[in-house]
């Protein structure tokens, strides 16, 4: 008590600045203590939730597996399965439990196929989980909408595509990505129709995911990609160029030739690469005439194209650039010369003084 | 009863396969990662190994290598792989895997392959 009185008297005598410092120290100490207690509580809750999650995950895994093996050949759904479905119907009223059930089913549907996969899809419909996924589409939070679309795609709900297509232009990238994967995952190449009027950028990651999804299908019959190659959306053009190459779309060569004059450099380079892959010869004259004005990337891409399609008519052009300042062009020029006219290659080799050219020749002679 | 070690980090899939294989009279020991798989293999000397390629701590490829090169065991090994892991599958075959199944796969088809390999 005396100590406290002494402290208050001492405090009163202090200059104002020190009083403020003391008050700040006191307030900060209280805040730190409060924060520590809050973090501790948060950690305890998280651990408890994790334990609860694991516990319920095990329960639902067992229920799901029992359901899968409880089918009989006479009925679409056996009596035993009916009981398990009713049990889950009661459980999914809790959001926490519903999320666990969905995560268990998602884990399995991704890894198995055949009758069991069909049976899981039936379970998703019969338990009413589909209604919760559909409700998610109406959410204001982008992550909820994205997870709803993902669930509908995983459980192959095809008849809601009109609802999903509304999200194809969603301001959030993740939602757009899930909507694209839904359309392509369930409707294959037909699902790519959204590209016809697609204005937002299709990121490199989006493109990779779409291509990966498309490769999983047996039917590889691709629609006409020319309209996408002519799209005003540069990312759609780049994606269509990838499709042209992967699915050997020789029919679009004329459109590819038009792309050599495209305003976007990346597209021009990618178009040259695809033409090179197709061993096209019609583009050579245009690219030669335009070579001086072309960017370095285009020049390199053109020499790569020539590696696949050069003939004797190209020799003068190749010799003109054999001393190019660009290493890739020099290397390609020597490679082409070695393959198409070995005598000329030997002749040129002797008059080369540039150190880099000598190294290239040595490398090509040994490989 | 023939013993099978199943190394798979997807617990639901493990449980499903365990249930299916036990129905056909096999004893199934589950490992949720490669490290546990090696422990189970060393302890139980199974007749067959089912292993996912991508697993925590020790991959399926390391499990195969350990079985073939360190333990010098020749029991059949079936690997599971997701789409796009073709190179991994080739590595698995080079290391000594006998068969592979790409995910998603049919559990019934897996059982047929297990029976075929165990009857040889």
- Chain B hits for A114, CB-CB cut-off 8 Å, are 106-109
CB contact under 8 A, B105 and A107: no
Q: Report pTM.
A: 0.80
**Can you give the residue ranges of every domain in chain A?**
14-127
Between the two ends of chain B, the Cα-to-Cα distance in Å is: 16
CB of B15 less than 8 A from some CB of A: yes
Residue A2: what pLDDT? 58
Residue A194 zone, left/alpha/beta (φ > 0; ψ -120 to 50; rest): alpha
Tens of pLDDT, residues A280-300: 888 998 999 999 999 999 999
Distances in Å between the alpha carbon of B93 and those of B53, B70, B71? Answer: 12, 17, 17
Cβ within 8 Å, pair A111-B103 = yes
Which of A64, A104, A212 minimises the CB distance to B84? A212
Measured CA to CA, the distance from residue A316 to residue A310 in angstroms comes to: 11
pLDDT in tens, B14-62: 999 999 999 999 999 999 999 999 999 999 999 999 999 999 889 999 9
Per-residue pLDDT tens digits for A215-261: 888 777 788 999 999 999 999 999 999 999 999 999 999 999 999 99
- Tell whether B19 lies on the interface with A, counting CB pairs under 8 A: yes
Please say if the pLDDT value at position A74 is more than 80: no
Give the 3-state secondary structure of residue B4: strand
Contact pairs from chain A to chain B, CB under 8 Å: 56
Q: Could you tell me how many helices (H) and strands (E) chain B has, helices first?
A: 5, 5
Q: Specify the number of domains making up chain B.
A: 1
d(CA B30, CA B46) in angstroms, rounded, equals 12
Q: Which residues contact A338 (CB under 8 A, 6 or more apart)?
A: A345, A364
Q: How far is B72 from chain A (nearest CA, A)?
A: 31
Structure tokens at A129: 């989980």
Contact: B108, A115; criterion CB under 8 Å: yes
Dihedral sign from CA coordinates of A320, A322, A327, A333:
positive
With 90 as the cut, is the pLDDT of residue A359 above it?
no
CA–CA gap between residue B29 and residue A132 (Å, rounded): 36
Long-range contacts of A319-328 (CB under 8 A, 24+ apart): A319/A344, A319/A348, A322/A348, A322/A357, A323/A354, A323/A357, A326/A296, A326/A299, A326/A300, A327/A356, A328/A300, A328/A303
Chain A interface residues (partner B, CB cutoff 8 A): 57, 61-62, 64-65, 68-69, 104, 107-117, 212, 215-216
Residue A178 phi, psi dihedral angles, 5° rounding: -65, -40
Task: Check residue A207 and give its pLDDT.
Answer: 94
Of B13, B16, B106, the CB nearest to A113: B106
> If pLDDT is split at 50, 70 and 90, which confidence band does A9 have?
confident
Range(s) of the domain holding residue B49 = 3-119
- Do the Cβ atoms of B106 and A116 come within 8 Å? yes
**Closest partner residue to B13 among A62, A112, A115, by Cβ?**
A112
- Unique residue bearing structure tokens 């290391």: B95
3-state DSSP helix/strand/coil percent for chain B, to nearest 5? Answer: 50, 20, 30
- In this prediction, the answer to ipTM > 0.85 reads yes
Assign A1 a pLDDT band (cuts: 50, 70, 90). low
Give the domain CATH number at B31: 3.40.50.2300
Name the nearest CA neighbour of A108 among B90, B113, B3, B20.
Answer: B20
Helix A296-309 × helix A265-277 angle, to 10° = 10
Restricting to B residues 28-67, those with a Cβ less than 8 Å away from any Cβ of A are none
**Angle of CA points B80, A158, A185, to nearest 5°:** 40
**Is B24 part of the contact surface with chain A (CB cutoff 8 Å)?**
no
CB contact under 8 A, A111 and B108: no
Nearest residue in chain A measured CA to CA from B85? A212
Partners of residue B101 on adjacent β-strands: B80
Select the residue of A61, A117, A212 nearest B12 (Cβ to Cβ).
A61
Integer Cα distance of B80 and B95 in angstroms: 15
What pLDDT score does A71 carry?
81
A327 token code pair:
């290493």
- Kindly report the average pLDDT of chain A as a whole number: 91
- Burial category of A347 from C-beta neighbours within 10 Å (exposed 0-12, middle 13-18, buried 19 and up): exposed
């Amino acid at each position: 008590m005396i100590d406290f009185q002494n402290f208050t008297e001492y405090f009163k005598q202090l200059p104002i600045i020190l009083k403020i410092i003391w008050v700040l120290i006191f307030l900060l100490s209280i805040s730190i203590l409060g924060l520590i207690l809050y973090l501790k509580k948060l950690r305890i809750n998280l651990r408890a939730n994790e334990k609860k999650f694991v516990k319920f995950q095990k329960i639902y895994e067992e229920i799901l597996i029992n359901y899968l093996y409880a089918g009989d050949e006479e009925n679409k759904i056996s009596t035993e399965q009916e009981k398990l479905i009713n049990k889950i119907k009661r459980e999914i009223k809790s959001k926490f439990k519903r999320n666990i059930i969905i995560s268990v089913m998602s884990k399995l549907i991704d890894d198995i196929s055949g009758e069991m996969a069909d049976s899981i899809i039936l379970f998703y419909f019969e338990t009413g989980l589909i209604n919760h996924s559909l409700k998610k589409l109406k959410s204001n939070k982008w992550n909820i909408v994205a997870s709803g679309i993902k669930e509908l795609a995983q459980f192959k709900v095809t008849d809601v595509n009109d609802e999903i297509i509304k999200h194809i232009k969603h301001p959030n990238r993740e939602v757009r990505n899930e909507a694209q994967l839904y359309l392509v995952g369930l409707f294959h190449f037909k699902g790519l129709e959204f590209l016809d009027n697609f204005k937002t950028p299709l990121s490199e990651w989006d493109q990779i995911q779409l291509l990966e999804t498309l490769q999983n299908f047996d039917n590889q019959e691709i629609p006409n990609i020319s309209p996408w190659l002519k799209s005003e959306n540069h990312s759609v053009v780049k994606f269509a160029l990838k499709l042209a190459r992967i699915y050997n779309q020789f029919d679009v060569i004329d459109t590819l030739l038009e792309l050599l004059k495209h305003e976007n450099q990346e597209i021009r380079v990618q178009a040259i690469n695809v033409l090179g892959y197709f061993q096209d010869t019609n583009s050579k004259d245009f690219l030669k005439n335009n070579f001086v004005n072309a960017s370095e990337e285009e020049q390199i891409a053109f020499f790569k194209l020539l590696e696949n399609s050069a003939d004797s008519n190209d020799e003068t052009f190749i010799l003109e650039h054999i001393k190019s300042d660009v290493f890739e062009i020099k290397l390609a020029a020597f490679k082409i010369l070695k393959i198409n006219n070995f005598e000329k290659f030997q002749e040129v080799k002797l008059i080369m003084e540039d150190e880099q050219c000598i190294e290239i020749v040595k490398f090509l002679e040994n490989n | 009863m023939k013993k099978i070690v199943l190394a798979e980090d997807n617990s639901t899939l493990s449980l499903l396969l365990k249930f299916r294989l036990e129905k056909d009279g096999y004893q199934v020991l589950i490992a949720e990662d490669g490290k546990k798989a090696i422990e189970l293999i060393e302890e139980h000397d199974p007749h067959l190994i089912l292993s996912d390629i991508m697993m925590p701590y020790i991959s399926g490829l390391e499990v195969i290598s350990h079985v073939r090169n360190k333990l010098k065991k020749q029991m059949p090994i079936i690997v599971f792989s997701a789409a796009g892991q073709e190179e991994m599958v080739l590595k698995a075959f080079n290391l000594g895997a006998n068969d592979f199944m790409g995910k998603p796969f049919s559990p019934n088809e897996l059982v047929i392959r297990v029976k075929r390999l165990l009857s040889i």
